[in-house]
Amino acid sequence: MPTYNKLIRNKIPQIIKSNGKTPTTRILHEDEYIKEICKKTEEEITEYIEAKQNPINSKNYPTY
């Protein structure tokens, strides 16, 4: 199973289990959680900016 080292959404481990696989998860300490939230926010902002620059390639982001 691939390693992602990312925050996960609710129920993702249950979905993985329902597919017959065993997920490995852990609960982050507060400082680790804040660091990961910042990384995720940066990732989402980057994707948004790229989508605005290339609207033909992305239909998931509205243009304002």
pTM to 2 decimal places: 0.64
Residues 6+ apart with CB under 8 A from 61: 47, 48, 51, 52, 55
Q: Which domain holds residue 39?
A: 12-57
Q: Residue 51's pLDDT is what? A: 87
In a domain, 6, yes or no: no
User: pLDDT tens digits, residue range 7-19?
Assistant: 887 889 999 999 9
- Distance (Å, rounded) from C-alpha 16 to C-alpha 30? 25
Residue 31 pLDDT: 97
34 lies in a domain? yes
Three-state secondary structure call for residue 20: coil
* Contact present, 7 and 37 (Cβ < 8 Å): yes
Tokens 């390639």 belong to residue: 57
**Residue 48: φ, ψ to 5°:** -65, -45
Position 62 scores a pLDDT of: 60
**pLDDT reported for residue 45:** 96
Give domain status of residue 2, yes or no.
no
Low-confidence ranges of the chain (pLDDT < 70): 57-64
Tell me what pLDDT residue 22 has.
Answer: 93
Into how many domains does the chain fold? 1
Residue 38 resides in a domain: yes
